[in-house]
Amino acid sequence: MDVKKVLIIEGIVNTLIMSGKLMIGLTTQSVAIVGDAVHSLTDVFNNIVAFLMVKVAMTPPDRGHPYGHQKFERLAIFFLATLLTIVALELVINAIKRFGEPVEQSLSGLVTLVAILCLNVGLTFWERYWAKRLNSEVLVADTAHTLSDVLTTIVIIAGWQLAAHGYYWLDTVFAIMVSGVILYLSFRLFQRVIPVLVDNSAYDAEEIVNRVNKIGDVKKVRRVRSRNNGREKVADVIISVAPGLSTADAHSIANKVEAVLANEFNIQDTIVHVEPDWTN
């Protein structure tokens, strides 16, 4: 099992869920359930986008992307977080719009919708399991999206049943509460992905400078930059050494810097630029 297979299976399940919700919505004439079916359609679209992004992220570096395609995976997570935000806002808007609208009761429809809810809960746990096992950020983000589907379906069922018994205002209250939870999930995803997309520093530069300065023959650390490329930490460092050192000796010092950053900071991709120190 890999990330792409998980997304394919999830896409198939989401298609079945969307079809079931649409059938119930049209039967009961519930705008809310039809709207939730449209929401499930966006889940299918989301699976397709995530699948394509992961496929691109796994391709090796090329002339147009010499540093690789890892950030495409983070871009997919950003898309998922954006979609979650839209879902949360739409949930509130639709709840307000349908306030006071009567719907038809349907025992078979209720049973089917509860079955769909159970299927979605199972899908959430299943995807979370593979997200941890495969260590996939995309699946972690998509799990949050699937969880939002569970919460939305709960609101839809509660709203439908309450509306059928005349308690219209509780439907709106529940929708706003669930919307808040979904917004929180999307906010956490944005927190994780935006620093990578904007090349935020992966480490405190001063901490690296202090450690590299302790390496023998390093006169001064002139610059340190670090970032997360989506899969691993990378850094570039400029150091100065005695001007009389041979190329081989300077290269040996650069290797020591790379080893320190790899072993102590888990930075496996480091570029070290060596300059002569003319200060003395």
If one compares 135 and 114, the residue with the highest pLDDT of the two is 114
What is the C-alpha separation between 130 and 119, in angstroms, rounded?
17
Token pair listed for 163: 């509306």
Q: Is the entire prediction scored with pTM above 0.85?
A: no
Q: Which CATH number fits domain 3-197: 3.30.1490.20, 1.20.1510.10, 1.10.510.10, 3.40.800.10?
A: 1.20.1510.10
Report the pLDDT value the prediction gives residue 188, as an integer from 0 to 100.
78
Report the pLDDT value the prediction gives residue 4, as an integer from 0 to 100.
77
- In order of 56, 132, 141, 225, 271, the CA distances from 228 in angstroms are 18, 20, 18, 11, 14
Spatial CA neighbour of 14 closest among 124, 110, 107:
124
- Would you give the end-to-end CA distance of the chain in angstroms? 60
Token pair listed for 9: 């299976």
- Per CATH, domain 205-276 is 3.30.70.1350: yes
Report the pLDDT value the prediction gives residue 31, as an integer from 0 to 100.
58
What is the C-alpha separation between 265 and 217, in angstroms, rounded?
21
Instruction: Express each pLDDT in 233-273 by its tens digit.
Output: 888 888 888 888 888 888 888 888 888 888 888 887 888 88
Segment 154-158 shows an average pLDDT of: 78
Residue 130 pLDDT exceeds 80: yes
Residue 128 pLDDT exceeds 80: yes
Segment 23-29 shows an average pLDDT of: 74
Residue 19 pLDDT exceeds 80: yes
Segment 187-194 shows an average pLDDT of: 81
The overall average pLDDT reported for the chain is 77
Instruction: Express each pLDDT in 73-117 by its tens digit.
Output: 777 778 777 877 887 787 778 777 766 666 566 777 778 888 888
Token pair listed for 205: 């530069």
SS3 of residue 279 by DSSP = coil
Cα pseudo-dihedral 119, 122, 126, 128, rounded to 10: 110
Segment 40-63 shows an average pLDDT of: 72
Residue type, 62: D
Per-domain residue ranges for the chain? 3-197, 205-276
